[in-house]
C-alpha cells in the first residue's frame, strides 16, 4: 500500500471515528458509510476530515428524516405509470442515466417533500444499478413541459442542491433540455450559488433531430400520429399492436402522422427556447455541449416502459407490481 493510500484510509477512518463519537451508527448507516462513500465526502470537502464528517452526519440525519432506506415503488405508482422520473439506461461509460420529465402541474398538487422523495428514490435506483467500478450518474431534465421559467428554476435548483449536498461526487453531468425562454435570466442569477452549475448544461432537442437516421429507427417501424393532448410539441402518441404489451401507447419524438388514423386536434407548438431572443443570448454566452449529449440522445428518445424500469429495481424496493387490465378497444 502506497503512502497516499495510507493517508486516504487514515482520513476515512478519522471521519468515521468522529461520526461514531456523536451517535452509534445503525446497520443501514454502517452499510451506507462504506469506504467509497466517505471518500466522496472527503473529496467534496477538500480532504478536510472535520468538514467531511459534519456533512456526512448531516446526510445521515437527512436520510433518516425522509426515510431514504425505506422508499418503495408502491409509494410512487402514479409517477412510475406516467414516467415522470426514471432510470432510462446507461451511457457508454456504464453510468446510469436518469430522466426527470416533470410537468409543471405536478408541483401544484404535490408537496416539495413528495418531489424530494421521488427524486431520492430514483437516485437510489440509479445507484443500485451501477457496476462496481462506476460511481456517478447522469441527469437529464426535460423542461419542455414547463411554461414558467421561475417554476422550473426552483425545481432544478432544489434537485441540484439535494444532489450536491447528500450525493457528493455522484453527478457526472446534468443536461437541461428545452427550458422556457426566460430560463437563462433566472439561471444567470442563481447559477453562481449552485454548487453543480459547472456540470449543468443546456441543450436543444432541435439540434439532434438530424441524428435520427444515423442512430436507427427507435419507433420499431410502428405507426405514429401527432399528439394533441401532450404539452410538448416534440412528442407523438403511438399505439402498440402487441396485445400483451404493458402499455398500449408510448411517447416518441417522431413527427410522422398517419392519415388513416382518427384525426387529433393539433396543439400550437410552443416557441423553442433556442429560437427566442433569450435563447440567442444564451447561445452566445454558453457553449452547447453537443458532443457530450449526443450519446444520450438515444436514451432520451427511447419510449418509457414501466415494466422495464421496475426490472432494474433490486430487492423489495420495486414493490408489488400488477399489470393493469387494458381492454381490447384500448389496445388498438
Write the pLDDT tens digit of every residue in 256-275: 443 344 444 444 445 455 55
In a domain, 302, yes or no: yes
pLDDT at 279 over 70: no
pLDDT at 200 over 60: yes
Q: What is the mean pLDDT of the chain?
A: 78
- Cα separation of 140 and 98, whole Å? 6
Show which of 18, 41, 66 is a domain's final residue. Answer: 66
CATH of the domain at 80: 3.40.525.10
Show which of 22, 45, 66 is a domain's final residue. Answer: 66
In a domain, 144, yes or no: yes
Predicted confidence at residue 208, as pLDDT, reads: 78
**Band (289; pLDDT cuts 50, 70, 90):** low
Do the beta carbons of residue 71 and residue 317 sit within 8 Å?
yes
**Judgement on whether residues 45 and 111 belong to the same structural domain of the protein:** no
Using only the alpha carbons of the chain, give its radius of gyration: 22
Task: Tell me the Ramachandran region of residue 220: left when phi exceeds 0, alpha when psi lies from -120 to 50, beta otherwise.
Answer: left
Predicted confidence at residue 205, as pLDDT, reads: 86
pLDDT at 113 over 70: yes
* Number of compact structural domains in the chain: 2
Predicted confidence at residue 332, as pLDDT, reads: 31
Predicted confidence at residue 275, as pLDDT, reads: 52
**Judgement on whether residues 101 and 157 belong to the same structural domain of the protein:** yes
Predicted confidence at residue 110, as pLDDT, reads: 87
pLDDT at 291 over 50: yes
Distances (CA, A) of 105 to 102, 109, 119, 146, 303: 8, 7, 17, 9, 22
In a domain, 168, yes or no: yes
**Judgement on whether residues 86 and 178 belong to the same structural domain of the protein:** yes
Do the beta carbons of residue 174 and residue 201 sit within 8 Å?
yes
**Band (22; pLDDT cuts 50, 70, 90):** confident
**Band (47; pLDDT cuts 50, 70, 90):** very high
- Cα separation of 331 and 275, whole Å? 38
- Whole-model pTM? 0.75
pLDDT at 223 over 50: no
**Judgement on whether residues 111 and 49 belong to the same structural domain of the protein:** no
In a domain, 320, yes or no: no
**Judgement on whether residues 131 and 199 belong to the same structural domain of the protein:** yes
**Judgement on whether residues 307 and 194 belong to the same structural domain of the protein:** yes
In a domain, 92, yes or no: yes
**Judgement on whether residues 293 and 172 belong to the same structural domain of the protein:** yes
**Judgement on whether residues 62 and 150 belong to the same structural domain of the protein:** no
Where b means 16+ CB within 10 Å and e means fewer, 55-80 reads bbbebbeebeebebeebebebbeebb
Predicted confidence at residue 221, as pLDDT, reads: 36
**Judgement on whether residues 103 and 179 belong to the same structural domain of the protein:** yes
In a domain, 180, yes or no: yes
**Judgement on whether residues 42 and 98 belong to the same structural domain of the protein:** no
- Of residues 82 and 252, more confidently modeled: 82
Domain extent at residue 29: 3-66
**Judgement on whether residues 52 and 144 belong to the same structural domain of the protein:** no
**Band (23; pLDDT cuts 50, 70, 90):** confident
146-171 pLDDT, tens per residue? 999 999 999 999 999 999 999 999 99
**Judgement on whether residues 163 and 19 belong to the same structural domain of the protein:** no
Strand partners, 175: 140, 201
**Band (320; pLDDT cuts 50, 70, 90):** low
In a domain, 254, yes or no: no
In a domain, 105, yes or no: yes
Show which of 37, 66, 95 is a domain's final residue. Answer: 66
**Band (32; pLDDT cuts 50, 70, 90):** very high
Amino acid at each position: 500500500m502506497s503512502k497516499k493510500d495510507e493517508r486516504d484510509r487514515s482520513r476515512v477512518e478519522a471521519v468515521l471515528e468522529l461520526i461514531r463519537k456523536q451517535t452509534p451508527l445503525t446497520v443501514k448507516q454502517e452499510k451506507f458509510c462504506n469506504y467509497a462513500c466517505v471518500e466522496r465526502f472527503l473529496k467534496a470537502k477538500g480532504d478536510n476530515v472535520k468538514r467531511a464528517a459534519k456533512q456526512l452526519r448531516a446526510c445521515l440525519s437527512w436520510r433518516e428524516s425522509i426515510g431514504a432506506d425505506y422508499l418503495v415503488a408502491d409509494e410512487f405508482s402514479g409517477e412510475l405509470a406516467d414516467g415522470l422520473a426514471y432510470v432510462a439506461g446507461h451511457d457508454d461509460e456504464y453510468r446510469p442515466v436518469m430522466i426527470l420529465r416533470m410537468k409543471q402541474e405536478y408541483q401544484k398538487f404535490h408537496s416539495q417533500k413528495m418531489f424530494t422523495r421521488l427524486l431520492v428514490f430514483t437516485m437510489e435506483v440509479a445507484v443500485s444499478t451501477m457496476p462496481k467500478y462506476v460511481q456517478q450518474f447522469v441527469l437529464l431534465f426535460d423542461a419542455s413541459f414547463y411554461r414558467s421559467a421561475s417554476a422550473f428554476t426552483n425545481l432544478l435548483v432544489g434537485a441540484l442542491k439535494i444532489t450536491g449536498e447528500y450525493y457528493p461526487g455522484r453527478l457526472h453531468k446534468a443536461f437541461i433540455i428545452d427550458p422556457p425562454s426566460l430560463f437563462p435570466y433566472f439561471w444567470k442569477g442563481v447559477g453562481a450559488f449552485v454548487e453543480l452549475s459547472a456540470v449543468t448544461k443546456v441543450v436543444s432537442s432541435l439540434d439532434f433531430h438530424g441524428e435520427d437516421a444515423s442512430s436507427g429507427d427507435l419507433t420499431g417501424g410502428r405507426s405514429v400520429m401527432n399528439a394533441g393532448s401532450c404539452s410538448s410539441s416534440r412528442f407523438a402518441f403511438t399505439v402498440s399492436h402487441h396485445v400483451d404489451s404493458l402499455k398500449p401507447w408510448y411517447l416518441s419524438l417522431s413527427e410522422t402522422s398517419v392519415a388513416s388514423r382518427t384525426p387529433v386536434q393539433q396543439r400550437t407548438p410552443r416557441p423553442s427556447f433556442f429560437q427566442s431572443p433569450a435563447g440567442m443570448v444564451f447561445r452566445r454566452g454558453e457553449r452547447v455541449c453537443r458532443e457530450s449529449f449526443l450519446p444520450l440522445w438515444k436514451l432520451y428518445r427511447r419510449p418509457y416502459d414501466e415494466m422495464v424500469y421496475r426490472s432494474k429495481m433490486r430487492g423489495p424496493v420495486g414493490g408489488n407490481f400488477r399489470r393493469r387490465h387494458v381492454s381490447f378497444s384500448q389496445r388498438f
